[in-house]
Amino acid sequence: MANLNDALTFPNGATVANRFVMSPMLTNSGEDGYATQDTLDYYNARSKAGGMIITEYHYVSENGGPAMTWKRGREQLAVYDDKFIPQLKKLAKAIKHSGNKAILQIAHTGREANYRAMQDKPVYAPSAIDFPFLPYKVHEFTDEQVKQVIADFGAAAKRAIEAGFDGVEIHGANHYLIQQFFSQYSNRRTDHWGGSLEKRMNFPVAVVKSVTDIVKKYAPKDFIVGYRISPEEIHGKNIGYTWQEATQLIDHLTKEFNLDYIHLSMLKYDSKPGDALLMDREQADQKFDDSAKPYATLFKPYLNGAKEIIVGSITSKEDAEKALALADLVAVGRENLIDPLFADKVLNGHADEVITTLTAAQAKASHLTQGLIDTFSAPQLGIPINRSDDLKTLHEGFGAWTEMKYPQNDQMK
């Protein structure tokens, strides 16, 4: 069995120094799409969080974000224009200064681009559906717009190359646009981009082709390309897609393209069918508990040489070792928000020194962004984290995922 200290070489020849990965996490620190000093300090402090550090998702099209944003200066980051390259270079440098790989996660958030609606701008998705959980309208992409977004993913990959990143992760998970196209719940189209399972696969396939074509043309041979997916999407009894359909997509992608890894987005590293997944609004009906095997095991036969990353609720050395028994790489999220040296301490025999509670002092010492401080000090947590009461003293009034208020404008229902 592999050890957490073991190096790993991807199919393209790139080698990471150990089996830890920092998972992508929104910092709510952008301003007009640009990384700020708050952003850079946060990533600089986490440069030892794994052999590979994946950034938060960057939106590839002007209409692709910001998502989960409540005000200017607390935004998602962008990569849709060359004007962002200077700040992206600083971001890559901050991540890489300890010798680890920097991966830029690229995404279009589709219907989740809530800040556009706040600014009275249209929000786009595969289909114009009245989603009950959104206060704003959603507009359907034209065929021409769909093709532009596909091209935008490739352009974003080229910017990542120019900025000095070691790879990109295509974000096909967590209910953002790629998943929306793959989901029969979100995608009611009857053209090339929707309908049958095969047609619902067309958008993710086209996006991966767009990215890998650019990588072949402009990137070094060892440039890493990964793909993140939510293993299934089931809302109660309503199916977006099953894990069996997701493995068909992954089988197609890993056979047709040179993907280095597949990243399963989960709340717990050993999640299995029917379990709640990250960003799900409703747990799957019991009838979908159709396998006792974890997703990590179920997806393995469909990787075709790509490596597997799993994530979720890894807060100790013991958790990490159990996760590594299931997959090639172990991604750590929330624990890196609390203690950026989690992986470094575990790898160097100091696991007993890991800090497990987010206090006000630790939030400042770990260079947590003010956007994340506001989120995790809010009265109601959107994502659970082990926090102390004194964290609330750092809350800068209104401002958190759970405190969003929408203005009255033409985009509201």
Backbone angles phi, psi at 251, to 5 degrees: -60, -45
Q: Where are the alpha helices (DSSP H) in 191-280?
A: 197-200, 202-218, 243-256
Return d(Cα 370, Cα 389) in angstroms, integer: 17
Nearest to 73 by CA among 107, 37, 24: 37
Helix, strand or coil, per DSSP, at residue 287: helix
Distance of CA 407 to the CA centre of its chain: 28
Q: Find all residues with CB under 8 Å of 136, minimum gap 6, and list them.
A: 114, 117, 123, 406, 411, 412, 413
Residue carrying the six token digits 């509201």: 412
Q: Are the C-beta atoms of residues 374 and 28 closer than 8 Å to each other? A: yes
Q: Where are the alpha helices (DSSP H) in 67-201?
A: 85-96, 114-118, 143-163, 177-182, 197-200
Q: Give the pairing of strands 224-229 and 124-125.
A: unpaired
Nearest to 52 by CA among 7, 4, 15, 100: 100
Tell me which residues are annotated as active site: 176
Q: Are the C-beta atoms of residues 24 and 171 closer than 8 Å to each other? A: yes
Partnered with residue 226 across adjacent β-strands are 169, 261
How far does the chain reach from its first CA to its final CA, in angstroms? Answer: 54
Helix, strand or coil, per DSSP, at residue 241: strand
Return d(Cα 32, Cα 190) in angstroms, integer: 35
Return d(Cα 382, Cα 281) in angstroms, integer: 11
Distance of CA 119 to the CA centre of its chain: 24
The number of helix segments (H) and strand segments (E) in the chain equals: 14, 15
Backbone angles phi, psi at 266, to 5 degrees: -145, 160
Backbone angles phi, psi at 179, to 5 degrees: -65, -35
Tokens, residue 319: 């958790």
Q: Where are the beta strands (DSSP E) in 188-260?
A: 224-229, 233-235, 238-241
